[in-house]
Structure 1
């Protein structure tokens, strides 16, 4: 075999291998084109490390590099949007009674941090506006409307709070509004369709049907169930209906690892470092 013929043969073989490799890479790139890394969502802020739904918990979430934090919104007696989970103040403050029976000024007099530890004594119940002003541009925010049926008009008030801060434009900020009250989410979507909506669902032994997913997808961008419902099959079905999923609430590393394996889009957790060991 002449030297020239040998070079030509080797060149053809090399080009074949390169072409096959390039084709393989291209296929993988196409396969993973729309796949994004699972994001960490700090539940009521980094509530494993600071009192839930306080500025301290939200600051801790940012410090721990969570991409988003979740919070709960209700209304005071005089119509202020306040950030607190329970419909009473008993568990997370030194007060007692229904949130909606307190004026904003009265709520401000309560200690929302001392129950967690002395270090956080004096933390206040923040307003939604204060949180948006403090953290816009610094963190994504997942806003849950808590028991909205108790607070007529809360959907419009939350929409107004977002619009007044130019946070209703998806290209500006990462804002999602969610609730267990699906009628409330339909209403919010009709008021402010530019802001993504999430549907929350508690654990159900019957799971969720394709009919339900189709109904949710008509107005929601996210289906966020109890983590105990999540399987790879359910995640794939959610994606088939062009929704994403952020299951709740992770409080141990095993659950975080399992959810990561199923391909969920986000994980709502009290401990941001359980989702990513590099956080924190």
Structure 2
């Protein structure tokens, strides 16, 4: 049975329950505008993306530290100036149909989202060694791009230093701690950073953990959920957000 289509996850939470991972999951080259357009074509109103800094301080979208997997170049992306990164092919690795698709900047994506009334979860994905600086830059830019424009983006990261930088640069923007395991001190860190959400590996959620997070006034989001059984389990646990690659399978609203 396909999971029930559910919109927002309750009063006081402005984001829809279903979030398209990296734009359209695996159906288009991740973190490119082509992917976000395809996710929107499937009816999704919120997207997750990965943001990092170029060598000259431009916030651009890419998941990996290196360029090798998702572009026609190699080496550390954050060590290249934007003028070089902008020339790369970020679509040919995925399919011939997307060959020549460029890397996107956060500003590019913000314009798309604001023009189409879409919401965004920006994962701060720093190049190692640039954790706090990346958090500051992403949050500062997001605050300017979304100033007076309605529902702001949700900023998340696995790196507390990045969230600390984001909190210092733009304290009004909502933050969420990403966790792949329940490492010592994660809960205290999430509260100290005034997080509004915990975004966890889907297998971590159970009744006790949902109660703990909800009891602290935070929301429970899951990544990356691609099968119906897992989605049904998370809905039954009353979690608040599901990040998925399967924009073609799950009805978003």
Normalising by structure 2, we get a TM-score of 0.86
The match for 1:250 among 222, 225, 244 is 225
Superposed displacement of residue 52, structure 1 = 0.5
Superposed displacement of residue 48, structure 1 = 2.3
Aligned to 2:105: 127
**SS state of the match for residue 198, structure 2?**
strand
Does the 8 A contact of 1:200 with 1:224 survive in 2?
Answer: yes
Q: Any unmatched runs of 5+ in structure 1? A: 1-31
Tell me, in whole angstroms, the C-alpha distance in 1 between the residues paired with 2:217 and 2:32.
Answer: 33
The match for 1:154 among 116, 131, 134 is 134
Distance 1:35 1:233, change over 3 A: farther
**SS state of the match for residue 234, structure 1?**
helix
Does the 8 A contact of 1:38 with 1:264 survive in 2?
Answer: no
Deviations 1:71-94 (A, max 9, x none): 111111221111000000100111
Deviations 1:170-226 (A, max 9, x none): x71241001000122123113212110010011x3xx467x6424412311111111
Aligned to 2:51: 73
Does the 8 A contact of 1:235 with 1:264 survive in 2?
Answer: yes
The match for 2:62 among 61, 78, 84 is 84
Q: Aligned pairs, how many?
A: 241
Bigger fraction of residues in helix: 1
Does the 8 A contact of 1:51 with 1:113 survive in 2?
Answer: yes
Does the 8 A contact of 1:38 with 1:267 survive in 2?
Answer: no
Tell me, in whole angstroms, the C-alpha distance in 2 between the residues paired with 1:232 and 1:141.
Answer: 27
Aligned to 2:118: 139
User: Highest Rg: 1 or 2?
Assistant: 1
Q: Any unmatched runs of 5+ in structure 2? A: 1-8
Superposed displacement of residue 273, structure 1 = 4.1
Deviations 1:1-27 (A, max 9, x none): xxxxxxxxxxxxxxxxxxxxxxxxxxx
Superposed displacement of residue 168, structure 1 = 4.8
- CA-based RMSD of the aligned residues comes to 2.4
